[in-house]
Amino acid sequence: MSAPKPVSAAVLVIGDEILSGRTKDKNIGYIAEYLGRIGVDLREARVVPDVEAEIVAALNALRARYDYVITTGGIGPTHDDITADAVARAFGVAIGEDPRAIAIMLERYAPADLTPARRRMARMPEGSELIDNPISRAPGFRIGNVFVLAGVPSVMQAMLDGAVKAMRTGAVMQIATIEAGGMPEGIYGDALGRIAEANPAVSIGSYPSFKDGRFMNQIVVRGREAEAVAAAKAEVEAMLDTIRGDGKPL
């Protein structure tokens, strides 16, 4: 049985409010974890402003390069919500009001409340499939390998549940986390580098965090073959034990 092919993805966060610092992005981290659990590798993320040319350029760069692109933000009812237009421009297709989207929105809004602003949310690039929005109805959409989701995290998360159904998924990454505790990276770094070099089937990372005036470190081994991950993990643990034994770097 051969392992399924890796599947790659990128996230494109669209919104002036992220770049001004007004809103702190929570979507990249959420999508990263979510995709990891279903065997899709997030390979890149970008944040761009509400400027059509910027969105088009970033989207075209990412969609050519990765299996999937997930965008967040800019699909609401106000003038600064320009994502659908930018996506249509990127794909070189027309954009117009989608009767399916209008029908869905009429489940929530009385016809008289379907203001021109709200009708903006029914504008879809030609050839889009709708993505369900169980929170506030106005749908996201998929066109080609691009999934266009809302920016508000709870809405984005609900849309993502629907969006991933259309994605091919790959082998889930196996992850082993080893607590190095307060042992400094500078003490185990050389030995860890040698282990990394000797185990090319896995990637090994060392991640410090700084709390209460001291560093605490974790070593993470990642790979698609469980045996390779387990073997590298055992080597790392043995290495840490040896250093703990005499306190000297290896």
How many other C-beta atoms lie within 10 A of the C-beta of residue 62?
Answer: 24
Closest to a second copy by CB, 26 vs 100, is: 26
Closest to a second copy by CB, 25 vs 124, is: 25
Q: What whole-number distance in Å separates Cα of residue 57 and Cα of residue 73?
A: 16
Rounded to the nearest 5°, which phi and psi values hold at 175? Answer: -130, 130
Contact string (CB under 8 A) for a second copy, positions 111-130, x = contact: --x-xxxx-xx---------
Quick one: which of 92, 111, 182, 186 contacts a second copy (CB under 8 A)? 186
Q: What whole-number distance in Å separates Cα of residue 239 and Cα of residue 250?
A: 8
Taking CB under 8 A as the binding criterion, the range among 90-98, 126-134, 181-189, 238-246 that sits at the site for a second copy is 181-189
Q: Which of 191, 171, 190 is nearest to 235 (CA)?
A: 191
Closest to a second copy by CB, 25 vs 162, is: 25
Closest to a second copy by CB, 18 vs 143, is: 18
Contact string (CB under 8 A) for a second copy, positions 11-50, x = contact: --x--xxxxxxxxxxx-xxxxxxxxx----xxxxxxxxxx
> By three-state DSSP, how is residue 104 classified?
helix
Quick one: which of 95, 171, 173, 230 contacts a second copy (CB under 8 A)? 173
**CB 127, min distance to a second copy, A:** 26
How many other C-beta atoms lie within 10 A of the C-beta of residue 113?
Answer: 10
> What are the structure tokens assigned to 218, written together?
């974790």
**Measured between alpha carbons, how far is residue 66 from residues 20, 43, 44, 111 in Å?**
28, 8, 9, 40
Long-range CB contacts (within 8 A, 24+) of 133-138: 133/158, 133/159, 134/158, 136/108, 137/104, 137/105, 137/107, 137/108, 138/75, 138/76, 138/77, 138/101, 138/104, 138/105
Asked if 98 is part of the footprint of a second copy (rule: CB under 8 A), the reply reads no
Taking CB under 8 A as the binding criterion, the range among 89-97, 180-188, 228-236, 238-246 that sits at the site for a second copy is 180-188
Contact string (CB under 8 A) for a second copy, positions 206-225, x = contact: xxxxx----x----x-x---
> What is the enclosing helix (H) or strand (E) of 179?
strand 174-181
Asked if 75 is part of the footprint of a second copy (rule: CB under 8 A), the reply reads no
Closest to a second copy by CB, 4 vs 193, is: 193
Quick one: which of 4, 53, 78, 198 contacts a second copy (CB under 8 A)? 78
Closest to a second copy by CB, 18 vs 164, is: 18
Which residue carries 């196996």 as its tokens? 174
